[in-house]
Structure 1
């Protein structure tokens, strides 16, 4: 099978760890791209021209994709090229038909082999580009996590995050330079870990700590807020009505504390939220809450609607919880993708009229929700009703188009 680009996975074990087919492929290469560390793993008697990736690598990749290739280009990748690797990036640039991949065991595969873990039952989290805070979304008692590190500082940062979130007693293992002569395994507990790993490391955590559910409806106290928050029962209904799905974009208009968008993100691995909030203090709360719940890397915080709506990524779903006006509804509905869902919660008479009018124009369902809580009354207990909420839910069909 010929290809314009051949990607060869190579591990810390270097040339000797490659299969005969991979060694033969590189021995016949004309030009090899890779990082300085990867290129140093190729023996001197391989006569190919060696090209180091420039920074930022994405721009160098784009240039390569736009160039006329005189011969097959070979690219070195760390471990399995298609597992959080450059192989997937090259396929996006050149197309799958032009790329051939020679795989190598990934660091996760090697770590599972050393630990005796069932890789199919292990959650893999990459912190190579994501902030360490992103790990918080995956923590729950009994979870087995393999964490891909950015560098030698990542294990200490992960250990601190675990300890600060009630998971300090978790068995904590750092595996460095897997497959190389310098391979090393350091084990302990998260709250007492003091190792010094190499830059090439992967972290294994067998979570011991509180049980955390992904079901919508976290306690209001789990969010920093200033009163502008969709309360837990209504939030659970709202997130359910929005039907979170992978690779989708949600607009959270009038975000308040950001609770709806954050709960929406917790239910997906690849969804994104664009949150719109006019108040600076509440905006700071949104970011703090997103970091706390491990989704800040997938949240884009913008200013007030309707002005900030104009250049935002097109939404697959929209939630309007605050700042509802006829203009905001119109813009959001027009921006919504065909098949997308709109959910709006109204508390005041003025916003109730807006959602009733919207239902008349665009269809959908109106739901009136009343919630009562038991609370002390003198020496007894009585029901105290919260303000009722009118929720409008609608799906934009292909024939409706824009308003």
Structure 2
């Protein structure tokens, strides 16, 4: 048996003096210390123990840590190592039975204490090593956001996104070096933010206030059609809402969106929960651009986009929990590859509007069963001085679950 040789100790701006007795003992007995330059600088200048400074890519440093398995290694981390921290990465590669984790208060906990906010009633996210467009999915009237900054430029980026989204009146508070002697808070609105003297270590609190007349985007499936850039190849919002309800995303699941058009299905799949993942497959180059733009604008910039005509690009993709086919159902071999790749218990959902598409779906139905639904939508539109019903093209939806 290998004892707990790796300690991950959360440390605040108050340095070693702020550590508990247990945390301090783990630091003191360590043979090797790991951390960033800021953390290692907290140690005494007389400390002669070997040090490992985080490298890029970080995987190289983790491999070096693992080489010292069996020795007493201590990793110094900011705040709570399990809150968007290095502890999450390390526990994915080293058994928890070999690790001791001692957290300090997270930046989120400290910020809530400074602002009087309830941590259970705020949206939390990190922009450290992540695209700033992620915040787009969290913006709505009355939302309170707590954001871990990547650096001193992040507050200005967040202010710009809020202003462009129509939330320029939102109150921004930047909290610097929380818990240390140099702690400071800066406040302004998104539209008037012009602070440049910002510490690299900061967190951002946002009280989202929409400008007059701004229409907020719902957090449920079925975003307005005008939320997307598209060329007409768009699953209309009523059908989209039904389709997402049928797909029934669960946090952490992966979707293949085959024939993705402008990406609306995969985007709303990912918006259902930050842990949901999706891969959008599309052959049209113009629509590939629409998918990327829409994903960034709607807060899911990590949507994976693959160019190509199905089924060829599907062969080496990660196994999906669900598959949606919105275009190209008549392609040879498409069903066989999709059905084979789908996880047991997963759903395959396909929408078609042509007779040829229905014939193909019926052949699939004869192989694995499932059920059909006809979705017929009518919208009231002007007819002269009056209103009349105009029918959209009916959509045939086939759903099959792999047992």
TM-score class, shorter: over 0.9
Q: Distance in 2 between matches of 1:280 and 1:269?
A: 27
Which aligned pairs between 1:2-41 and structure 2 lie closer than 5 A? 3-41=4-42
Q: Unmatched 5+ residue regions in structure 2?
A: none
Residue number in structure 1 paired with 2:180: 180
Tell me, yes or no, if structure 1 residue 391 matches structure 2 residue 392: no
Residue number in structure 2 paired with 1:280: 285
Which aligned pairs between 1:269-308 and structure 2 lie closer than 5 A? 269-308=274-313
Which secondary structure does the structure 1 equivalent of 2:302 belong to? helix
Task: State the 1:24 CA deviation.
Answer: 2.6
Q: Distance in 2 between matches of 1:192 and 1:311?
A: 48
Q: Distance in 1 between matches of 2:55 and 2:189?
A: 39
Contact 1:262 1:295 in 2 (8 A): yes
Aligned match of 1:380 in 381, 386, 395? Answer: 386
Task: State the 1:70 CA deviation.
Answer: 4.5
Contact 1:290 1:299 in 2 (8 A): no
Aligned match of 2:257 in 252, 256, 264? Answer: 252
Task: State the 1:203 CA deviation.
Answer: 0.2
Contact 2:306 2:313 in 1 (8 A): no
Which aligned pairs between 1:9-88 and structure 2 lie closer than 5 A? 9-65=10-66, 67-88=67-88
Task: State the 1:141 CA deviation.
Answer: 0.6
Per-residue CA shift, 1:322-380, capped at 9, x if unaligned? 11124112211111000000100011110001111211211111001111111122332
Residue number in structure 2 paired with 1:369: 375
Q: Distance in 2 between matches of 1:212 and 1:222?
A: 8
Task: State the 1:69 CA deviation.
Answer: 2.7
Contact 1:15 1:43 in 2 (8 A): no
Which secondary structure does the structure 1 equivalent of 2:56 belong to? coil
Residue number in structure 2 paired with 1:171: 171
Tell me, yes or no, if structure 1 residue 313 matches structure 2 residue 318: yes
Q: Distance in 2 between matches of 1:12 and 1:304?
A: 53
Q: Distance in 2 between matches of 1:169 and 1:101?
A: 41
Tell me, yes or no, if structure 1 residue 104 matches structure 2 residue 97: no
Which secondary structure does the structure 2 equivalent of 1:15 belong to? helix
Q: Distance in 2 between matches of 1:338 and 1:297?
A: 26
Contact 2:280 2:303 in 1 (8 A): no
Residue number in structure 2 paired with 1:220: 225
Which secondary structure does the structure 1 equivalent of 2:252 belong to? coil
Residue number in structure 2 paired with 1:400: none
Q: Distance in 2 between matches of 1:223 and 1:154?
A: 26
Aligned-residue CA RMSD (Å): 1.5
Contact 2:288 2:305 in 1 (8 A): no
Q: Distance in 1 between matches of 2:59 and 2:369?
A: 45
Q: Distance in 1 between matches of 2:362 and 2:352?
A: 10
Residue number in structure 2 paired with 1:118: 118
Aligned match of 2:333 in 324, 327, 330? Answer: 327
Decide which moves more: 260-269 or 155-164.
260-269
Residue number in structure 2 paired with 1:208: 209
Q: Unmatched 5+ residue regions in structure 1?
A: 398-403
Task: State the 1:20 CA deviation.
Answer: 2.7
Q: Distance in 1 between matches of 2:69 and 2:396?
A: 60
Task: State the 1:300 CA deviation.
Answer: 3.4
Task: State the 1:45 CA deviation.
Answer: 4.1
Q: Distance in 2 between matches of 1:120 and 1:285?
A: 35
Contact 2:292 2:305 in 1 (8 A): no
Residue number in structure 1 paired with 2:349: 343
Which aligned pairs between 1:238-249 and structure 2 lie closer than 5 A? 238-249=243-254
The alpha-carbon distance between structure 1 residues 2 and 312, as it changes in their structure 2 partners (threshold 3 A), is closer
Contact 1:27 1:46 in 2 (8 A): no
Residue number in structure 1 paired with 2:162: 162
TM-score for the superposition, normalised by structure 1: 0.95
Task: State the 1:383 CA deviation.
Answer: 1.3
Residue number in structure 1 paired with 2:153: 153
Contact 1:127 1:149 in 2 (8 A): yes
Q: Distance in 2 between matches of 1:304 and 1:85?
A: 39
Which secondary structure does the structure 1 equivalent of 2:7 belong to? strand
Which secondary structure does the structure 1 equivalent of 2:333 belong to? helix
Decide which moves more: 88-97 or 153-162.
88-97
